[in-house]
Amino acid sequence: MEGSLDEKTLNLMKQAFKQYYFKAGDRISPPSRMNEREFGYIPFGGSMIRHLSFKTFGELYALLVREAPHSVFYSAAYYLEPTLPMHEKGWKGGDLIFDIDADNLQLPCRKDHNLWTCKGCGLKRIGSRPKKCPNCDGGSISELNWACEKCLEAAKNEALKLIDILMKDFGINKNEIKVYFSGNMGYHVSVESKEFEELDQAARGEIADYVSGRGLIPESIGVFKRATYESLVENLPRIGEPGWRGRLAASFANWKVDGFGDGDTREKIAALYGKIRYSKFKKRLEVEMLKIGVRIDTMVTTDIHRIFRMPGTLHGETGLLKMLCDDLVSFNPLNDAVVLSDEPVDVFIEYSPRLQLKDQIYPPFKRERVKLPLMVAVYLAGKCLARVV
């Protein structure tokens, strides 16, 4: 069943999306500088149509109501001629975008809800994808990523860390930062600022490396191979310093070192370094950076031609809304982004992990026919786990 939907199920999803778009004119937010951006969409049962441009929101909205697409995208970039082939468009600049996706966080709950399928023998199992199929020893295995409440909360925490760095370390005004729930596995953080829009791929890569803490080594914080206790105490970061030094100092304060309590953090870390020396300290620092750095998809930030799902449109794999999060702390994607109805639908479910939508728990299903609210039926059908009967 994975990877394909029958016509009856596709029709249900398309009708559900059409009903939403027919009534959702005031929920759809066209991007700024609309006529400089490229648009694209994927029809249900079809493939991507790109290189479109709209002069008015009315033109765009008419397409949404008429086509009720599976997915709708727009470019982060601004072009002189958005409808021309990529190398002829004339890149003028673009929003600075960060993508935070729960499936990149490698959370332990993946083993409870992800589903992998061997493309060789068809074996299906719950859990993270193995390197080789235990049944046929084949290496061609697909994995269905699933975002539970824990996954989405972890993704939100990454977005909050990112916003803190963008504001404190880069001096970006809060009004220039927009955070969107992607409609599926995480969040898109967008910076629309004259100061950043003309940055090339390399400069965006440096920003991506900075926010993730990639490349930070012991020497970055004053720890050298032949450092003495006294030099370490003098050079290690202090709590309250700006940037990564301050963040690391606050993090070091939580490290447990025999013989040290809540005293001077630099003395504690200097004493620790004397016991474990450079190589082990370097490894501990790398582990720490994985905790406090922001886990983003670097490829997304550096791709200056990338297209993104448009706010106010539905995600074809979930039926959830891509939406602006005005208050990220209180935002609950599994409640706030659910906009389809609870009209009952009969479906057959091949397999489904536990699902929570609108404060209701829908238990794991396995090869059974059930009556479910439209919002749940579309979520499962969008992931090719259910079909209409």
- Catalytic residues, which ones? 99, 101, 297
Residue 282's nearest CA partner among 212, 228, 223, 233 is 223
Burial class for 183, CB neighbours closer than 10 Å (0-12, 13-18, 19+): buried
Strand partners, 344: 373
Q: How many CB atoms lie within 10 A of CB 113?
A: 20
298 Cβ neighbours under 8 A, 6+ residues apart: 205, 208, 209, 212, 214
The helix or strand, by DSSP H or E, that contains position 121, with its residue range, turns out to be: none
DSSP 317-338: TT-PBPEE-SSTTT--HHHHT-
23 Cβ neighbours under 8 A, 6+ residues apart: none
Distance CA 161, CA 295 (A): 10
Task: Please identify which residue in the block is written with the tokens 């929570």.
Answer: 356
Contact 341, 358 (CB under 8 A): no
Q: How many CB atoms lie within 10 A of CB 263?
A: 10
Contact 343, 162 (CB under 8 A): no
Distance CA 182, CA 316 (A): 11
Distance CA 189, CA 98 (A): 5
3-class DSSP state of 353: coil
